[in-house]
Chain A
Amino acid sequence: MGVTNVSVSIGRRRLGPALALLAALAWLPGARADDALPQRWVSAGGSISEWVVALGGEDRLVGVDTTSLHPASLQELPSIGYQRQLAAEGILALRPDLLLGSEEMGPPPVLEQLRAAGVRLETLSAQADLATLEDNLTRLGALLGEPQRARQALAAFRSRLEAQEAWIAQAQRSQEAPGVLLLLGHPGGSAMAAGPDTAAAWLIERAGGRNLTTHSGYKALSSEALLALDPDVVIFTDRRLLEADEARQALLRQNPALASTRAAREGRLVALDPTLLVGGLGPRVPEGLAALSAAFYPASSPLPAETTPAR
């Protein structure tokens, strides 16, 4: 810490206009003169961090929370812990200009301390819907000074979802929408099934499936209820359960109820990366949806893979 006794808040006010003026003289005439862009970012929230990277801002990140796992290079950054239990001094030690996070970020007294220390706080919603995503990307674009890139990313995201919808409509002409269950956690215990108000249900519906549950949130599901629901497809959030043949056999042996569902009989057990389920819509959502759809409608030829936007 070489500049600790430079007064943080007052210093920025003094330096800000000067820097902006220099920038305006040296760079494009369109550079904004009222506020220098934040250079050192801390991001608390998996999909937010992912979008920052997707929009080309990875070199601004100086710290991320424990849910920021993608891309893997983020895991090299200092971890600020769980987003709801942030530590003020730990974050200040990273000397950030900006703390990005969802409305779940907290606890509130720590956020106040950070604000008092001159850190700019930006709260993006983690809700899984397109309007929220548009809002979030617009703000990230502005913060990065890359509004154009953000608009392109959003358009690409939208068009992929539209293509996906069209593909599903096509597929549904030859096959009825399958009944789907998403099971969270290890099925050796009692697995938790995703209810209709979860991000999992959003993904299932968008991928052209029918989510079979009616409870709210994630609730443990009894073997009998599993049998009664008799899903056509079961989604697991642990890839290791399905990858190797022995693992799959063991899973079915341990869960006779699961083994006798239509999904198991027809071999339609699918794995989904659980990081897609938290923190709102991330850039990997279209890929995940495409993979799910392909599993839901095996007869239709899969949607051609597109390159991920802007990366």
Chain B
Amino acid sequence: MTDDTPLGGGSPLIDAHAHFYHAEAGRADWARVNQVRLRAGDRIGITYHVASVLGSYGHTSPTYFPSPADLTRGNDAMAALADAEAHRVRWYVTVNPNHTAHALTEIDRGVSRGAIGIKLLASRRAHDPLLDPICERAADGSLPVLHHIWQHRTREWPNQEVSDGRDLSRLAERHPQVSFILAHLGGGGDWAHTLPAVQAQSNIFPDLSGSGVDRGMIDAALDALGSERVLWACDVTMETGLAKLRALDVIGLGSDARANVRWRNASRLFGAHAFPRCQSAASAAAVGS
């Protein structure tokens, strides 16, 4: 490996769960944090960040219960960033299902500006009927839905109406045409509960992001779901993302299975057209092999 080789290896890599900040997110260092994400992404070898902006991140409405106005501003900021970084950033349009009309309008507006998926937070329990019109719109547009999840909901937690794998499975069962990305398997709660909760629901795809790096988690996810249903991602801790990439290299996965987790699954969910550099890199590798 040369000094120029990315720390996470040279083959395509899609971070299916990233976030960026903006000027109205209540923190003065927002631009620095965005730049650090892009810098670290280059160092790791992330080909594409699939990202969202979560309203005002609590500055003018709660992060997990964002107001329509904050969502609109946040989605505008996200679209602008994706335009500016078009070679490496794709985006989810974020909506709050408690405001159905705004959510549907915002999805259409986002897609018209290039959004390739929908981000749902914890504004309403995942199995609530209010999510149905959003999922119907997702099905119509072939838009994957990234849903914030608490791994094993044992009680209510403050500042969010959390859902777990069981809750998301109920929603996914009602909408078999929609692909649901179950957020941050390593992001808090008991991942061991999530795996059997979603195992039978084949349109749920957990991402590996989160600060948690429990030993055994990746192995268990792959054993339960297979490499075709697990997505690599970072969320807010990119060092744990790199650690998980390196763990993928030592747990005995074949090259196809590693490629599935690194990028192919994301490419299948979002559509290959969304990630042209992954396709060209894979084609070049195939020619060279």
Answer whether A and B are interacting partners: no
